[in-house]
Amino acid sequence: MSLEQSLHPSSIALGESLGSADEVLERVAELIVSNPLASSLGQSEVARLLREREELSSTGLSSGIAIPHCASDKVADFVVGVLTVERPIDFRSIDGKPTDLFFFVMGPREARNRHIKLLSAISKFAAQGDLLEQLST
């Protein structure tokens, strides 16, 4: 399954008014559970899984991009989405700069290799110049 095939309209939110990393994770959790593939999950459970992953190390990359991700045995297949925020926020990115573009992934625990491949595909896609401008149009 390609990155484009993995994106579902219910998992895309652009120009959100969020002010903290925790608000971003809550909104990502909301978007994940709105996807039919994750309908057996509760928003609070997904938010907890995302926070636990962030506690291990930040998923904030560089150039204003982060890829929050987690896994669960309760998700039927991969949920991939994108979220942009009006004003960049501190997401503990490796370059120390604020983040305004969030790709997110949730997948089945047993599909670790696919999970890594999706994260890699997103990283390559996100490395394209002016990506945020393209998403905003």
Question: Facing residues of 84 across strands?
Answer: 101
The token pair at 78 is 């991969």
Cα–Cα dist 137/9, whole Å: 16
Catalytic residue among 32, 38, 69, 100: 69
Cα–Cα dist 70/36, whole Å: 17
Cα–Cα dist 44/130, whole Å: 33
Q: Annotated catalytic, 69?
A: yes
The token pair at 74 is 């309760």
Q: What angle do CA 125, 103, 24 make, to 5 degrees?
A: 155
In sequence order, what are the residues at sequence separation of 6 or more whose Cβ sits closer than 8 angstroms to the Cβ of residue 27?
A: 13, 16, 18, 83
- Residues labelled as active-site residues: 69
